[in-house]
Chain A
Amino acid sequence: MINTSEILQTVRMITEEKLDIRTITMGISLYECCHPDKDALYRRVYDRIAKQAEHLVKTGEDLEREFGIPIVNKRISVTPASLVAASCGDPIVVARAMDAAAKETGVNYIGGYTALVQKGMTASDRALIASLPEALSTTERVCSSVNVASTRAGIDMDAVRLCGEAIKDIAEATKDTDASGCMKLVVFANAVEDNPFMAGAFHGPGEGDCCINVGISGPGVVKHALEKEAQDQPFDVVAETIKKTAFKITRVGQLIAREASARLGVPFGIVDLSLAPTPAMGDSVAHILEEMGLEVCGCHGTTAALALLNDAVKKGGVMASSHVGGLSGAFIPVSEDIGMINAAARGALSLEKLEAMTCVCSVGLDMIAVPGHTSASTIAAIIADEAAIGMVNHKTTAVRIIPAPGKDVGDEVEFGGLFGRAPIMRVSPYSAEKFIARGGRIPAPLQSLKN
């Protein structure tokens, strides 16, 4: 029998320390929907998603009620749309069907308007990237991603250039809402096929028909545990405390994943061991780093603190779940983390420091607002730098960047809700235009002689 203090600890984690399940994401394969005719393709995609995910939201709500833990998001990821639309040639049809099906099933986002182009682009991949401004400005819930690099294939610099241009065009197409369309596009290196988190979720080509992936959360719980058990203690104690806490959080994720999978009659995929912050007070990854003794996130020492946190979360979580996958690591989205927002606003956190931090954690330069006049080639160069870090270090990296129209350093962009707000960050004023204009591929790196 569990004892009283353990019961009260669990209740406190949920009620006071913002422990929640960040997302239950149903991955759905759309291969069976391929059709050369646009109308038939639309109907097939819509029917497939709407039928498979019919009970997803209701089941999530039942679980919330019965286990007494908030499940913040219920979402869907699908097969990369460029594959599904290849025979029809018009990927936007898939975007519209995804959006309509998301509304029908009641999920807040649906991911998978995706192209995997790390080695090269098909006509369908090119069409999808070209359609991004229209797709992300005319649909509401569709999220998109493009994988432009991998450790095995190198970096597709043509795709990097196209993504830089697409991001500028999306910003222009959604300028009335501070370039909100850019929040729905992630440019990846080494993208994972079972990521449950938006905007980068898609149901990879190697996945089965359907599965349930769960993303956990709980920065507040980790920070509270450090305050209580590791005040002024050496790092060994800090790491142990984080591991124990991550274990508990992940066990809840595993429980919810197993229950959701059983109730929906869909196989369990993975639990994603990520610390996902929100802009709410007490739900910040930056504050965990500050709890370790940094005056403000972004000062020297931040990369080391983040490396410890990221590793300890994984070590604690791995034993708590039968299948771990997805991105699995601490997230550092600037606009979605109150500690990061404050650090950036004070000028303590720069783009360069964030880039260094992405070497040791999941997932990359995430939710970063830059001046509206930032050129497409500079954005492409930022993507190339981040992709290089992922490619060389065998890890997933990503860029989700918002060139906010009409805004400059000193201004702020307000996205609202879970997306939070972002101070505009300074980018280098020097040009990478000739570098980006070269095109071609950066070869895959050597896998030995690693020093």
Chain B
Amino acid sequence: MEKKNTAVVTVVGRDTIGIIARVSAALSHHEANILDISQTVLTDMFNMIMIVDISLSRFVDLAAELEALGSELGLQIRIQRSEIFDAMHKI
């Protein structure tokens, strides 16, 4: 498998105004480029998945800021290198 520099951001929690704006701002602050985004709201539960290019980002700092943002907004925000998803679901 070739070395990729993408990560998957998952956001789960109660819907409020400005979640996408805040998460996107954090990503751009760390020079992470959004490649793909999918979002659903089911009975007030907000679900978002972003694929981001983190070639220019420092993973540790970005992860820390997203985590802080998650606790501020009362949401679960996770960032994981995308290889773990490829490994599990692709042969």
Interface of A with B (CB < 8 Å)? 1-2, 4, 6-11, 15, 65-69, 248, 251-252, 254-255, 259
Contact = CB atoms under 8 A, between A and B. Distances in A.
B80 A66 contact: yes
Contact of A7 (B83, B85, B90): B85
Contacts of A67: 80-81, 83-84
| Complex A-B, nearest 3 residue pairs according to Cβ-Cβ distance, in ascending order | A68-B80, A255-B87, A251-B87
Contacts of A6: 85, 88-89
Interface in B68-88: 76, 78-88
Nearest to B88: A248
B43 interface: no
A65 B88 contact: no
Given A10-B89, A11-B78, A4 B83 contact: no
Given A4-B38, A4-B49, A7-B10, A66 B81 contact: yes
Contact of B84 (A1, A4, A65, A69): A69
A65 B63 contact: yes
Give the dominant DSSP class at A's interface.
Answer: helix
A2 B63 contact: no
A386 B44 CA distance: 57
A108 B18 CA distance: 43
Contacts of B63: 65-66
B36 interface: yes
Contacts of B87: 251-252, 254-255
A259 to B, nearest CB: 8
Contacts of B38: 4
B89 A8 contact: no
B46 interface: no
B79 A2 contact: no
A1 B83 contact: no
29 contacts: A1-B36, A1-B51, A2-B86, A2-B90, A4-B49, A6-B89, A7-B10, A7-B49, A7-B85, A8-B47, A8-B49, A9-B89, A10-B85, A10-B88, A10-B89, A65-B60, A65-B63, A66-B59, A67-B80, A68-B78, A68-B79, A69-B80, A69-B84, A251-B87, A251-B88, A252-B84, A252-B87, A255-B84, A259-B83
